[in-house]
Amino acid sequence: MITKMTGVLTRVLEDEVRLQVGPFEYQVLVPESVRRVIQMRTGAEITFHITEYLEGNAGGNRFVPRRIGFVTEAELEFFELFCTVEKIGAKKALRAMARPVKEIADAIARQDVRWLSTLPGIGATTAEQIVTTLKRKVARYAMMSAQPPLPEPPADAVAEAKPKANGKRRPVAEPVVAPAEAVSVVADGQVIDDVYQALMGLGHNPIEARNKLDSLLQSGKTFKNVQEALALIYANKG
């Protein structure tokens, strides 16, 4: 069983990423909370803590191996704990973890069924079951520090230039992520998560909030905090 994978992040899709490890590209499923942290790290080397499960079809005659990845080992441990709740499997837990582990654990610890029922795919009955099952098991996750920013891509990343007339190649320093100014803006995943939370607080549902945040990040516009990000998001609103 694979427990950790390190490779170059080649693509970030809606609910999965692609990781290049040597000559192979792997599909790794990620929850929304992880996606927000890494979505602008394409081209950088990233390590995922991995768990695996088999996904079967309705007839039970075909099984596909799936990998789920997390940035920290604590996130993976919480996911596995979350899956111990009755009627919550890997797919449902993956969808539900749209918020940082610390926030979900804190809500469980304070038995906030209403807050938990706002997570994707979690209704009031399931939220109550989560509290009943996990309320005495999440204290250390509720006290976790905020997700640290991922390391910057190396500034001196070297790529090979086209051959010169004499057939020799010369190294040329190239930035790993483009546009370059976007690196400093989104390197701290906590800022991105704060913007997402702010959009949710303003009444947007999770899909609307994610679409607005994605559009902002893809625009390449710079922002240093939540206020600047919201100003950019609503700049074109009448």
**Which pLDDT tens digit goes with each residue over 153-207?**
544 443 433 444 444 444 433 334 333 333 333 435 667 778 877 887 888 877 7
Calculate what percentage of the chain has a pLDDT beyond 90: 50
**pTM passes above 0.85:** no
**Computed from CA positions of residues 234, 95, 193, 84, in that sequence, does the dihedral angle turn out positive or negative?**
positive
Give which of 133, 96, 95 is closest to 115, Cα–Cα: 96
39-84 pLDDT, tens digit per residue, is 889 999 999 999 999 988 767 678 889 999 999 999 999 999 999 9
- The terminus-to-terminus CA distance of the chain in angstroms comes to 54
